Chain A
Amino acid sequence: MKAAVIRFPGSNCDQDCFHVLHNVFDVETHYVWHKETSLDAFDLIVLPGGFSYGDYLRCGAIARFSPVMKSLVEQAEKGKLILGICNGFQILCEAHLLPGALVRNQSMHFVCKHTLLRVEGVNSPFTNAAVTGQILNIPIAHGEGNYTADEATLRELNLNSQILLRYADAGGAITAEANPNGSAENIAGICNARRNVFGLMPHPERAAEKILGSEDGRLIFESVLNTLGISKAA
């Protein structure tokens, strides 16, 4: 298995993603500069967090037109696994690989804290190692993570079980208090209809080792390894 971590100018979670894939899960991982034009060699493509192009215009709006994105769209159409974290999620929405958009947090504040997420569906390459209803402790760090979509899109997301993670309280209740950014229906992560493209605002790569206070983020990476038929790293 080969994983790619795409680097845009302004990506800043690229090394964290590389570290978790390479050192924690022993996956052959390569950095791919955004000017590259081929992603054929990879089984998993990660768009890391950060502030690509300084978040100019809109988060992810300019990264969407980076040369590598043409290949990313092709790989998505081929069914390759694509994981967008934080700014990566914003880029996937701007590129129309995922529906909806991420706008300014309702509070107007940049929010950096641990959040609790309820796993809404395990029928996906990114959540199959979890249990439905399981609560994951994974941090967020964003100013624009407020998921927005029109009613028809929200209905479709629900109908197709594309909402994989929601902000919840410790008991698993989906409440306004548990919603850190004002996201519609407490949405923290969604996949496309084909289920091979997943975007989430929380950072699983920041919760994949005990020393960081939570290992719950491992489940996302373990799910990917399961999907690709690779046994878990010890």
Chain B
Amino acid sequence: MKVKVIVMPKQSVLDPQGVAVRDAIHHHGMPEIKSVRIGKFMEIEIEGEKAVSSEKLHEICRDLLSNPVIEDYQLEIKD
């Protein structure tokens, strides 16, 4: 079982990394790039079939992998 987690800064939270990268892209001659937001992509491998419930996975996403104050997450479970 494989799980993919994407963690992104909330829209309301300024992402200075994304702003710096957007500016660098502008310097590459692409002024049409409006914004860049930088998050994290995590790949989690789980031993055995259906060893972990999606409830548990959401719990770990909420409590550890993301900070709900500043980030949103997406969880993708692949059997």
Contact = CB atoms under 8 A, between A and B. Distances in A.
Given A57-B64, A61-B64, A65-B64, A107 B16 contact: yes
B64 A148 contact: no
B6 to A, nearest CB: 14
Contacts of B67: 58, 61, 94, 101
A103 B64 contact: no
B69 A57 contact: no
Contacts of A173: none
Contacts of B13: 103, 148
A150 interface: yes
A148 B16 contact: no
A105 interface: yes
SS of A interface (majority): loop
B20 interface: yes
Contacts, number: 37
Interface string B59-70: 000001101011
Contacts of A202: none
Interface string A88-121: 0000011000011101111110000000000000
A174 B14 CA distance: 21
Contact of A106 (B14, B64, B69): B14
A226 B69 CA distance: 34
The residue in B14, B64, B69, B70 that gathers the most chain A C-beta atoms within 10 A of its C-beta is B69
A101 B65 contact: no
Interface residues of A, number: 21
B35 interface: no
B17 interface: yes
A222 to B, nearest CB: 32
B64 A150 contact: no
A149 interface: yes
23 contacts: A57-B64, A58-B67, A61-B64, A61-B67, A65-B64, A99-B69, A100-B69, A101-B67, A101-B69, A101-B70, A103-B9, A103-B14, A103-B70, A104-B16, A105-B16, A106-B14, A107-B16, A108-B16, A108-B17, A148-B70, A149-B69, A150-B12, A182-B14
Interface of B: 9, 12-14, 16-17, 20, 64-65, 67, 69-70
Nearest 5 A/B pairs, CB to CB: A101-B69, A101-B70, A108-B16, A104-B16, A106-B16
Given A61-B64, A101-B67, 14 more contacts: A57-B65, A58-B67, A93-B69, A94-B67, A100-B69, A103-B14, A105-B16, A106-B14, A107-B16, A108-B16, A108-B17, A148-B70, A182-B14, A182-B16
